[in-house]
Structure formats: structure tokens, C-alpha cells
Amino acid sequence: MPGPQASETTEMYKLYSMQRSGNSYKIRLALAFLDAPYRAIEVDILRGESRTPEFLAKNPSGQVPLLEVAQGRYLAESNAILWYLAVGTSLAPDTRMDRAEALQWMFFEQHALEPNIGSAYFWLCLVKGGRDLQTHALEDWLERGYAALQVMENHLKTHDYFAAGQLTIADIALYGYTHVADQCDFDLSTFPSINAWLRRVEQTPGFITMDWSSDSAPHDHVDFAAEA
């Protein structure tokens, strides 16, 4: 049974995203695991395409990802989108405590990981000359990013996944920027449990890389749909 389709209508989801945005990738990865069809619209934030009046009318924050879940109904914030997509599938835990623990890690991702590794990735990997512009900020991002990675490493020493003992949207949220950390000055070699978890996520049927686009070959997928 396939994952969720765009609700309320028979239309496909429309996803406004940027290929090299980790926050956007989280959504593409969840959609791939769920084998949910969607139409991707590339928004180049470096050219200000998320700050045009047309885009701001859809998302006043001027950011991707943005999911049009039904005609004229837009949802922003990657982790809110992940919840929307995952409800009713095994990517969203179904017990009260497991759900809360998934949320705990998704909040952690947004306040401890993404602002540091995400910023380092943006300025070092996407913006030409970004390293020179952000020399001082980079020190802070590295310090705080390493602290976040250590928290993750400690958890993963005794757990295969972040919540519910299985792959959930908490893992997808955290994978988004952790997997590019080594591209922006973070040395992941001293985090063996994180490395093992990264490989575990990558070996999950349906996994796609950040570079994957719908032009690529179709992929196998695991059935994450809700059990009846």
C-alpha cells in the first residue's frame, strides 16, 4: 500500500524546495520512504527566489521547504511537514511517549543541530566566499555543532534509532544535516555510533541521496503505510 497522497484532493503534493537545502532534503527523503508522488519546484534561495512577493504570499517566512498539501493550502517548517506526511504511517510513532520522544529530537534538531551544522554547510558549501565572510561565526558553529553531535553519539551508543526503536521522522530530521557535516569542517571520525546510524538510514529501502532528483531511476521502497 502506498504512502499518503495529497489530502482532500486527488492532486499530487507540490513541494517547493532547493536541491542542496538540507531542510528540503528531509522532505524529499520522507516522500521517498513513503513512495508518495509529488511535483518538485526548485526554488533558488541564493537568487532570492524565496523572497519574491509571489513566494512570500505562500510562505511569509520566505523559506523552503514549503509543501502545498491541497490547492492553496501551504505548510512550512520542515519538521511540521514531516509530521503531516508521516501521520498514520510507521514513520510517526504511535504511542504517547514514543511520539513525544520523536518530537524531543526534532526540537533538538532545530535548536542544536540545524542552526550550527546547517549554517556551516550553507556558508562553506553553498555561498562563494562564505568562509571568509563567516570566520568568527564558524568557530561558534563548530563548538555548538560538536556539542550536538556528542549528544547524538551518546544516545546512539545504546539505541539504533532516535525514537520508538525504529526509523522515524526524528531520524530523517537529524539525518538531513548530520550527513553533510563532514563537508563543512566537522570531523565525524570520532563519532562511530553516528557513522553506524548514518549507514543504517542509508541502507533503508527507499533511501535517496540529497542529489537524487525525479529524473533518476525509480527505487525500491519499504511499506511504511499504517497497518490496518
Residue ranges that bind ligand GSH, judged by CB under 6 A: 21, 23, 45, 50-51, 62-65, 77-79, 110
Provide the pairing of β-strand 38-42 with 13-17: parallel
Nearest to 208 by CA among 5, 12, 40, 7: 40
Q: How far is the CB of 1 from ligand GSH (least distance, A)?
A: 28
Point out the residue whose Cβ comes nearest to ligand GSH.
63
Q: How far is the CB of 184 from ligand GSH (least distance, A)?
A: 13
How many Cβ atoms are within 10 Å of 164's Cβ, its own excluded? 21
Please say which residue, 51 or 159, places its beta carbon nearer to ligand GSH. Answer: 51
How many Cβ atoms are within 10 Å of 168's Cβ, its own excluded? 26
Please say which residue, 77 or 101, places its beta carbon nearer to ligand GSH. Answer: 77
Provide the pairing of β-strand 73-76 with 66-70: antiparallel
Q: How far is the CB of 94 from ligand GSH (least distance, A)?
A: 24
Q: What share of the chain is helix, strand, coil (3-state, %, to 5)?
A: 50, 10, 40
Please say which residue, 23 or 168, places its beta carbon nearer to ligand GSH. Answer: 23
Q: How far is the CB of 50 from ligand GSH (least distance, A)?
A: 5
